[in-house]
Amino acid sequence: MIAPILRTLAAVALALPAAAFAQGWPNNQPVTVVMTFPAGSGIDIVGRLLQDAMQKSLGTNLVFEYRPGAAGNVASEYVARAKPDGHTILFGTAATHGVNAALYKKLPFDVEADFTPISTIVDVSNVLTINPGAVDVKSVRELIDLGRANPGKFNYASTGNGTGTHLAMAEFVAKTGLNITHIPYKGGPDAVASVVKGDVCCYMSQVQAMLPHYRAGKVRLLGVTTKERVSAIPEVPTIAEAGVPGFENYTWFGLFGPKGMDPVAVTRINAAVKAALETPAIRQRLVETGNTPRWENPEQFRATVKADRAKWAVVVKASGATID
């Protein structure tokens, strides 16, 4: 009789530290947010808009750590192998958790099984951007006509092979029959700079990354990739209405933890995202910079990742793109 009681007491004693740890999270420790793309990229812009509000909700600091490379796989692998204590999370995208699973022949992690979905943050439209000095057209239709008349003459930028900006433009090229050369860059800032300087004629940029240059008159926006026009730039038509019927392509940003992440941390971070997105000033600023706020609970986000993985597998196969 005594032995079973002792075993029970021992089990309870072992569980107490873990329970205390969970209840005390974040235990006065900062949360490191590992960024899949460089400073100045779309995820960085969105992350900075939410940072202060989330820090107040969580009662601790969010420290952004940039680990760009391999279309987000460098950062993803780092977080997949991190301790699941809630102090290391990933700022991922539809590219890192949808596209890459189809694009790369082999990954050192599983985009579903090796991560804990926490919350979506925003949906993001791309926008077909041109440098008027490199290619002086004023509409999607004019770009298509000029490109068809000059096969192989023009090139376009992307944030890297297989990223959302690459596949969005690849889909546009395929649907319009253009012969235009792909120039991959290491991340958003380099790709943006290339089209602003005129090194390339065009770029399917995330809206928020291109807005300052558009408002300064350095680039021209021809069409957005979403089904509806973007509130921040209502004067810019959708690509579908501007000459490519049925065209629709967008991405999302969201937070992930390692597999088996502390459920208390998951719940609290998810709630902090929701609170930030419901803050009028933050929501307004996100919309002004070309984003559509979208909060999901962890299970809804898990379903989003699963569906996107299947969707992008079809798109990548159709594009013929693969990376070893």
Residues 33 and 120 placed together within one structural domain of the fold: yes
Q: 216: domain CATH number? A: 3.40.190.10
Looking at the domain assignment, is residue 13 inside a domain?
A: no
- The count of domains in the chain is 2
pLDDT of residue 76: 98
Looking at the domain assignment, is residue 115 inside a domain?
A: yes
Residues 257 and 114 placed together within one structural domain of the fold: yes
pLDDT of residue 146: 96
Last residue of a domain, one of 224, 239, 261: 224
Collect all residues with Cβ–Cβ distance below 8 Å to 254 and sequence separation of at least 6: 91, 92, 93, 97, 117, 118, 119, 120, 121, 296, 301, 304
Looking at the domain assignment, is residue 246 inside a domain?
A: no
pLDDT of residue 324: 65
Residues 174 and 120 placed together within one structural domain of the fold: no
Q: How far is CA 240 from the centre of its chain?
A: 23
Looking at the domain assignment, is residue 267 inside a domain?
A: yes
pLDDT of residue 23: 56
Residues 87 and 69 placed together within one structural domain of the fold: yes
Which residues are bridge partners to 258 per DSSP? 115
Q: In the chain, count of helices (H) and strands (E)? A: 12, 10
Residues 91 and 78 placed together within one structural domain of the fold: yes
- pLDDT < 70: residue spans in the chain: 1-23, 324
Looking at the domain assignment, is residue 239 inside a domain?
A: no
* Residue ranges making up the domain that contains 170: 125-224
Q: What is the pTM of this model?
A: 0.79
Per-residue DSSP letter, 278: T
Looking at the domain assignment, is residue 35 inside a domain?
A: yes
Q: 109: domain CATH number? A: 3.40.190.150
Residues 119 and 142 placed together within one structural domain of the fold: no
Residues 193 and 282 placed together within one structural domain of the fold: no
Using alpha carbons, list the distances in angstroms from residue 101 to 107, 260, 280, 322. 7, 20, 36, 10
Residues 85 and 48 placed together within one structural domain of the fold: yes
pLDDT of residue 215: 94
Looking at the domain assignment, is residue 9 inside a domain?
A: no
Residues 198 and 217 placed together within one structural domain of the fold: yes
DSSP conformation letters of 100-130:
HHHHBS--SS-TTTTEEEEEEEEEEEEEEEE
Which residues are bridge partners to 92 per DSSP? 254
Looking at the domain assignment, is residue 233 inside a domain?
A: no
DSSP conformation letters of 231-247:
TT-TTSPBTTTTT-TT-
pLDDT of residue 167: 86
Q: What are 137's two structure tokens?
A: 């057209």
Residues 257 and 311 placed together within one structural domain of the fold: yes
Residues 206 and 262 placed together within one structural domain of the fold: no
Residues 116 and 143 placed together within one structural domain of the fold: no
